[in-house]
Amino acid sequence: MHLGFIGFGEAAFEMASGLKQQGLKKMTAYDPLWNVSEYSELISNRAAAAGVTIVQTPEEVLQQVNAVIVAVPADKALGVSSQLKSCVQKGILYIDVSASNPDVKKNIAKNIQEKGGKFVDAAMMGPLPVYKHEVPILASGDGTDTFMEIMQPFGMNITKVSDVPGEATAVKLVRSIYMKGVVGLYIELLEAAHEFNVESLVVDSLSETINGRTFEETMNRLVTGTALHAVRRSVELGGTIAMLDSVNIDSSMSKAAKEKIEKLASLNLKDKFKGEKPEHWLQVIEAFKVTN
């Protein structure tokens, strides 16, 4: 097999390095920064280390390979597929690993399929420097089965989501609500804890609350419990916000949480569930749907 890369940054380099160790010998890549003096040496060194041949244009990659991994920024992915559309050969496997939204993935798939290629929406679900080619990948699109078949000999960790482009990336982007959002919460929490000199007490208390249960159990308990006590908890957050504002700490995460919980309070779920806590978080989310 001959594998190509459009974009040879860190992600592509780490993946290619792992695949080389697994015996993949033919790899070709294009990166627009290859001829930029500040980056050319880095890209050349990476290519040499990973056993990858660098070419002058992305079109050259598509002319040579059976499958191509397109690792470009999310806001460039659709434009790249349009640029390369005329070079797509029948049967080529076009694997987009960008974090473009599901609608963009569908449009990229359309560009590729109109020329007889097969498309894979591939969402990489872990750090490439740690996992290299074994990074967990969720995949969707009409080329997913082929992708899994041709990469299985090289030890790639691919899980099929569906044949619908965009559904794999939807998992990644929804997951990011937590993975990126919780960082903002951590920063606000730690700023406040440090300001009031209570870091150890706060962290120890939260650890005791959270560590005793699984993530799913904790999530379900907090969502269903707040469904009953949304008014009280939104008032408590008001006190938190006032405290943070008094010492000039940005309270934007707490304000956003208060707004969401106030919306939950407006649903009067305590009356709907007759004072009994819902059994499952899905009951709360279904109640939100009625108001949207």
Which CATH number characterizes residue 277's domain? 1.10.1040
Beta bridge partners of 124: 137
Separation CA 9–CA 2 (nearest Å): 19
Residue 249 and residue 139 share a domain: no
Of 180, 187, 198, 178, the residue nearest 251 (C-alpha): 187
**Number of domains forming the structure of the chain:** 2
215 Ramachandran zone, left/alpha/beta (phi>0; psi -120 to 50): alpha
Decide which of 163, 186, 208 is a domain's last residue.
Answer: 163
**291 confidence band (pLDDT: 50, 70, 90):** low
Grade residue 250 by pLDDT with cuts at 50, 70 and 90.
very high
> What integer pLDDT is reported at residue 102 of this predicted model?
97
Q: Which domain holds residue 184?
A: 171-291
Residue type (1 letter), 6: I
Q: Are residues 90 and 145 in the same domain?
A: yes
How far apart are the C-alpha atoms of 110 and 107, rounded to whole Å? 5
Look at residue 35 in the predicted model and tell me its pLDDT.
85
Chain position carrying tokens 């659709």: 78
For 47, counting Cβ atoms within 10 Å of its Cβ (0-12 exposed, 13-18 middle, 19+ buried), the class is: buried
Is residue 289 very low, low, confident or very high in pLDDT (cuts 50, 70, 90)? confident
Q: What pLDDT does 207 receive? A: 96
Element (H, E) at 270: helix 269-272
Phi/psi for 156 (5° steps) reads -75, 150
- Residue 8 and residue 110: Cα distance in Å, rounded? 24
Dump pLDDT digits (tens) for 28-69. Answer: 999 999 888 899 999 999 999 999 999 999 999 999 999 999
Give the pLDDT of residue 51. 97
Residue 166 near residue 108 (C-beta atoms within 8 A): no
Residues 159 and 175 in one domain: no
Give the three-state DSSP class for 98. coil
The helix, strand and coil proportions of the chain, stated in percent and rounded to the nearest 5, come to 60, 10, 25
Q: 76 and 107: one domain?
A: yes
Both 218 and 154 in a single domain? no
Cβ atoms 74, 48 nearer than 8 A: no
Tell me how far apart the alpha carbons of residues 14 and 156 are, in angstroms, rounded to a whole number.
13
Q: Number of C-alpha atoms within 13 angstroms, CB side, residue 17? A: 18
As a whole number of angstroms, the longest Cα–Cα distance in the chain is: 68
Q: Are residues 145 and 197 in the same domain?
A: no
Say yes or no: 181 and 99 in one domain.
Answer: no
CATH of the domain at 148: 3.40.50.720
Q: Among candidates 71, 2, 63, which has minimal Cα distance to 32? A: 71
Residue type at position 156 = M
